[in-house]
Amino acid sequence: MIRLTVLYNTPDDPEAFLDYYEHTHVPLAEKLPDLTRITWGKTIGRNAPYFLTAELVWDSPDAMNAAMASDEGKATAADVANFATGGVTMVVSEGH
């Protein structure tokens, strides 16, 4: 199992971000080849260190790398700049 954790900072326009994210970015990400699971959600709680988090899971690093190198992967990655005005942190974890 390999997991990509995506941590978005608070954007300039939170409402516009959420609308774009749900209706444009997530549909792109859902097309990533061999994706096992995608989950995402706005953070809750005061002083949350991030605005929205997402998790994308594949069975193996090879599957993730192939997905990222695909046309769908390139389109998804390129789309991030269209809405992530507050910046984004991505972390890849391999494990359990």
Q: Which of 10, 14, 33, 50 binds its own copies (CB under 8 A)?
A: 50
Smallest gap from residue 17 Cβ to its own copies (A): 14
Q: Cα–Cα distance between 23 and 43 in angstroms, integer? A: 18
Residue 77 interacts with its own copies (CB under 8 A)?
A: no
Q: Cα–Cα distance between 64 and 59 in angstroms, integer? A: 8
Q: What is the DSSP letter of 45?
A: S
Residue 81 interacts with its own copies (CB under 8 A)?
A: no
Residue 91 interacts with its own copies (CB under 8 A)?
A: yes
Handedness of CA 24, 30, 50, 84 (dihedral sign): negative
Query: What residue ranges bind its own copies (CB under 8 A)?
Result: 1-3, 5, 7, 26, 39-45, 48-50, 52-53, 55, 57, 61, 89, 91-96
